[in-house]
């Protein structure tokens, strides 16, 4: 499956809680919930981010209580109006002289109710306003911590994980925390206060009827649990199928040319239909089964209402309670079931949120890069001299990839690095730029240990032109200017001219203002490479790193790129990762690498005369298939015998 599908999850229903596709169907209780490994520890740590806002959270609690109290007492007051209306009607029916309905009293109650509802809404608004500020400030700080942490993490962290996974933690998981803090936390507070308040109000009316309502709760719980268990299986299948569908669609979209070239359109459609059918089956079953929860709960609640009405009617005839109290009680009974269902839904959401927080905290707890030197040195006038002294390195301490490497490069020299795939060419460059820390030895630039320089200052000494061009969605001018902050228009144009890019840029409809699309596919591969060279020229670095970038362009463009590279390398120390050995014959030093070690060193002619690994590698690019097979076998014997050519 493709990377994009790794973290795909069915989205939540309307409002972010419950609804189709999230939670327990309509009630938010059926979706499989991601669980945290250390719920208590993560919750405690997340609460720590809320401590600076203790006063605001107390205000939220107070406003929630006031808002809920105003909403809860309203049915009781409304019941008094109903009782007064009923009493007036009964007196009229009995023919009592002067019997009337006290509309003034009822009117006063209506005005009082309107006032209570307005106050309840005002405090609810204030509660949401305060909580929104707390949630956003908390998540702002958390997001800032994550961003700063990512900037301090070593390259090996990113190499060991997919981009999708890191983005999911830094964006999706943080957003999940934000939504829960802003919505679910206030809902949870309101629900708990409502449950407590409603129970008190129901008990004040009739303990017997309150018992009837509470007795029906276990029936609802048992019914929900059984349905949830069944629907969860279908929701899991829905998640799985949705991930497969997203992965397939992404693969077919990004690779649609390959699909068409090899005539696999029908096969792709059939696979899509198969996954889509599986998603449909799981989806409708999940929604149907989880959709049974609300009707079933309504049925059980209605039984409770019938029992409440019967018992209430008996109590009214015995004058134990007033008729308005029955109306108020039924309203309370309806209010009672809603926050319980909400609390169950929020419990699932909070569990998922704590799991998200745990994933974010895992980033924050990652081992950072080796700290910068407390008194960093500065290279004011870089010459570009590079020296490796007894450098050893391994991705793990047990297995060293490079052992006691010694290289001495003088200012202005062109150093070519050659060798088979996996020989360690890119690793050497990563060590030079301190993307990885060496196990032992020293790497010096102008006689200064790179560990004594700030990473930012160290990397500013380098300019890179890689095989995989990196251009962003902006104008050509901005892409070139990325090489140096504050570059003038004249400097940008001069860099483009030096890179042989000015001519093709001016032939474009908008010239330097041409906007490159997301993948820069509106210009050719060769043109992309010329732009990256122009950017490197503008940066004016002391040391260049070039990953030969002419393998995917035509011969004419290759000549242009090679000329631009020659201009770029003039007077600068250059490290060239070479794939075509014919392009590095003029290199001052050729480092031949295999299995992480420099096994030969010298210029082109010296290495050919040795007749060793480099000679075999060079000749293999200009010989027949049978000869190549012999050369490969010979190279293997070199590795087995661990021969060193210098």
Question: Which has the higher per-residue pLDDT, 477 or 463?
Answer: 477
Q: Can you tell me the distance from the alpha carbon of 643 to that of 637, in angstroms, rounded to the nearest whole number?
A: 9
Burial readout 401-414 (b: 16 or more C-beta within 10 A, e: otherwise) = bbbebebebeebbb
Q: What is the DSSP secondary structure assignment for residue 471, as one 8-state letter?
A: -
The number of C-alpha atoms within 13 Å of 602 and in the hemisphere containing its C-beta is 17
pLDDT score, position 554: 63
Q: Can you tell me the distance from the alpha carbon of 269 to that of 279, in angstroms, rounded to the nearest whole number?
A: 15
Task: Say if residue 63's pLDDT is above 50.
Answer: yes
For the ranges 43-52, 167-176, 256-265, 360-369, the lowest mean pLDDT is seen at: 256-265
- Rounded mean pLDDT, 348-375: 83
pLDDT score, position 17: 37
* Arithmetic mean of pLDDT over the chain: 79
Question: Which has the higher per-residue pLDDT, 248 or 582?
Answer: 248
pLDDT score, position 320: 79
Question: Which has the higher per-residue pLDDT, 462 or 219?
Answer: 462
Task: Say if residue 30's pLDDT is above 50.
Answer: no
What are the tens digits of pLDDT across the range 292-319?
A: 777 777 777 777 778 887 888 888 788 7
For the ranges 7-16, 185-194, 238-247, the lowest mean pLDDT is seen at: 7-16
Q: Which tokens is 255 given?
A: 């690779």
Which strands form 448-449's sheet, in the order they lie side by side? 402-409, 386-393, 440-445, 448-449
pLDDT score, position 457: 86
pLDDT score, position 32: 52
Residues in CB range of 144: below 8 A, 6 or more apart: none
- The DSSP result for 194-243, as a single string, is HHHHHHHHHHHH-HHHHHHHHHHHHHHHHHHHHHHHHHHHHHHHHHHHHH
Burial readout 619-637 (b: 16 or more C-beta within 10 A, e: otherwise) = ebeeeeeeeeeebeeebee
What are the tens digits of pLDDT across the range 382-413?
A: 888 999 888 888 877 777 778 888 888 898 88
What are the tens digits of pLDDT across the range 205-214?
A: 888 888 888 8
How crowded is residue 461: how many other Cβ atoms within 10 Å of its Cβ? 20
Question: Which has the higher per-residue pLDDT, 126 or 352?
Answer: 126
If you compute the radius of gyration of the chain from its CA atoms, what whole number of angstroms results? 37
Whole-model pTM: value is 0.65
For the ranges 4-8, 282-286, 586-590, 592-596, the lowest mean pLDDT is seen at: 4-8
For the ranges 337-341, 385-389, 518-522, the lowest mean pLDDT is seen at: 518-522
Question: Which has the higher per-residue pLDDT, 645 or 573?
Answer: 573
Task: Say if residue 53's pLDDT is above 80.
Answer: yes
- Rounded mean pLDDT, 312-331: 81
Closest CA to 393 of 440, 443, 442: 440
pLDDT score, position 14: 34
pLDDT score, position 643: 44
Return the axis-axis angle of helices 613-620 and 625-641, rounded to nearest 10°: 160
Q: What is the DSSP secondary structure assignment for residue 514, as one 8-state letter?
A: P
- Do residues 39 and 351 make contact, with C-beta atoms less than 8 angstroms apart? yes
Residues in CB range of 249: below 8 A, 6 or more apart: 272
pLDDT score, position 493: 92
pLDDT score, position 644: 42
Closest CA to 231 of 34, 35, 29: 29
Closest CA to 601 of 609, 591, 610, 612: 591
Q: Which tokens is 344 given?
A: 């169950």
pLDDT score, position 29: 43
- Rounded mean pLDDT, 105-112: 84
Question: Which has the higher per-residue pLDDT, 431 or 218?
Answer: 431
- Rounded mean pLDDT, 72-97: 75
- Do residues 19 and 13 make contact, with C-beta atoms less than 8 angstroms apart? yes
pLDDT score, position 55: 92
- Rounded mean pLDDT, 186-206: 85
Task: Say if residue 13's pLDDT is above 50.
Answer: no
Task: Say if residue 92's pLDDT is above 60.
Answer: yes
3-class state of residue 394 by DSSP: coil
- The DSSP result for 53-70, as a single string, is GHHHHHHHHHHHHHHHHH
pLDDT band at 4 (very low <50, low <70, confident <90, very high): very low
Task: Say if residue 558's pLDDT is above 80.
Answer: no
pLDDT score, position 9: 39
pLDDT band at 594 (very low <50, low <70, confident <90, very high): confident
Q: Can you tell me the distance from the alpha carbon of 135 to that of 133, in angstroms, rounded to the nearest whole number?
A: 6
Cα three-residue angle 270-271-274, rounded to 5 degrees: 85
- Rounded mean pLDDT, 36-58: 86
């Amino acid at each position: 499956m493709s990377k994009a599908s790794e973290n795909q999850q069915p989205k939540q229903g309307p409002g972010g809680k419950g609804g189709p596709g999230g939670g327990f169907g309509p009630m938010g209780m059926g979706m499989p919930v991601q669980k945290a490994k250390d719920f208590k520890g993560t919750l405690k740590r997340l609460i720590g981010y809320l401590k600076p806002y203790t006063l605001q959270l107390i205000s939220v609690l107070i406003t929630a209580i006031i808002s809920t109290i105003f909403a809860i007492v309203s049915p009781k007051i409304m019941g008094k109006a109903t009782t007064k209306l009923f009493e007036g009607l009964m007196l009229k029916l009995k023919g009592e002289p002067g019997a009337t309905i006290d509309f003034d009293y009822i009117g006063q109650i209506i005005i009082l109710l309107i006032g209570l509802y307005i106050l309840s809404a005002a405090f609810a608004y204030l509660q949401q306003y305060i909580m929104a500020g707390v949630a956003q400030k908390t998540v702002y700080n958390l997001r800032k911590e994550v961003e700063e942490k990512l900037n301090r993490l070593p390259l090996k962290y990113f190499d060991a994980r997919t981009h999708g996974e890191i983005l999911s933690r830094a964006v999706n998981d943080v957003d999940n925390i934000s939504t829960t803090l802003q919505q679910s936390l206030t809902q949870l507070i309101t629900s708990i206060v409502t449950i407590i308040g409603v129970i008190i109000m129901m008990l004040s009316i009739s303990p017997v009827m309150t018992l009837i309502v509470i007795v029906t709760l276990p029936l609802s719980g048992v019914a929900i649990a059984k349905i949830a268990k069944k629907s969860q299986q279908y929701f899991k299948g829905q998640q799985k199928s949705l991930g497969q569908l997203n992965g397939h669609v992404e693969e077919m979209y990004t690779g649609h040319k390959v699909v068409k070239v090899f005539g696999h359109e029908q096969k792709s459609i059939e696979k899509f239909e198969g996954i889509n059918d599986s998603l449909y089956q799981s989806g409708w079953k999940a929604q149907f089964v989880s959709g049974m929860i609300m009707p079933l709960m309504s049925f059980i609640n209605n039984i409770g209402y019938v029992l409440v009405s019967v018992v209430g009617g008996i109590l009214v005839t015995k004058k134990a309670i007033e008729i308005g109290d029955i109306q108020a009680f039924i309203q309370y009974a309806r209010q009672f079931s809603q926050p319980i269902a909400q609390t169950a839904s929020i419990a699932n959401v909070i569990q998922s949120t704590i799991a998200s927080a745990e994933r974010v905290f895992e980033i924050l707890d990652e081992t950072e890069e080796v700290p910068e030197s407390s008194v960093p040195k500065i290279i004011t006038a870089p010459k570009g001299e590079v020296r490796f002294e007894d450098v050893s390195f391994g991705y793990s301490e047990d297995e060293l990839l490079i052992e006691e490497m010694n290289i001495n490069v003088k200012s202005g020299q062109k150093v070519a690095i050659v060798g088979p795939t996996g020989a360690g060419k890119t690793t050497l460059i990563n060590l030079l730029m301190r993307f990885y820390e060496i196990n032992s030895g020293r790497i010096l630039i102008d006689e200064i240990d790179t560990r004594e320089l700030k990473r930012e200052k160290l990397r500013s000494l380098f300019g890179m032109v890689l095989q995989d061009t990196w251009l962003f969605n902006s104008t050509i001018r901005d892409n070139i200017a990325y090489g140096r902050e504050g570059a003038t228009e004249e400097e940008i144009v001069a860099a483009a001219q030096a890179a042989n890019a000015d001519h093709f840029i001016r032939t474009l409809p908008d010239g330097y203002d041409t906007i490159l699309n997301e993948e820069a596919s509106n210009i050719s591969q060769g043109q992309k490479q010329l732009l990256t060279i122009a950017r490197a020229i503008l940066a004016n670095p002391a040391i260049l790193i070039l990953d030969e970038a002419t393998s995917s362009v035509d011969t004419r463009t290759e000549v242009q790129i090679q000329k631009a590279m020659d201009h770029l390398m003039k007077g600068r120390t250059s490290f060239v990762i070479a794939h075509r050995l014919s392009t590095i014959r003029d290199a001052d030093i050729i480092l031949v690498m295999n299995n992480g070690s420099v096994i030969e060193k010298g210029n082109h002619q010296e290495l050919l005369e040795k007749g060793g690994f480099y000679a075999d590698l060079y000749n293999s690019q200009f010989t027949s298939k049978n000869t190549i097979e012999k050369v490969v076998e010979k190279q293997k014997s070199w590795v087995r015998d661990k021969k060193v050519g210098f």
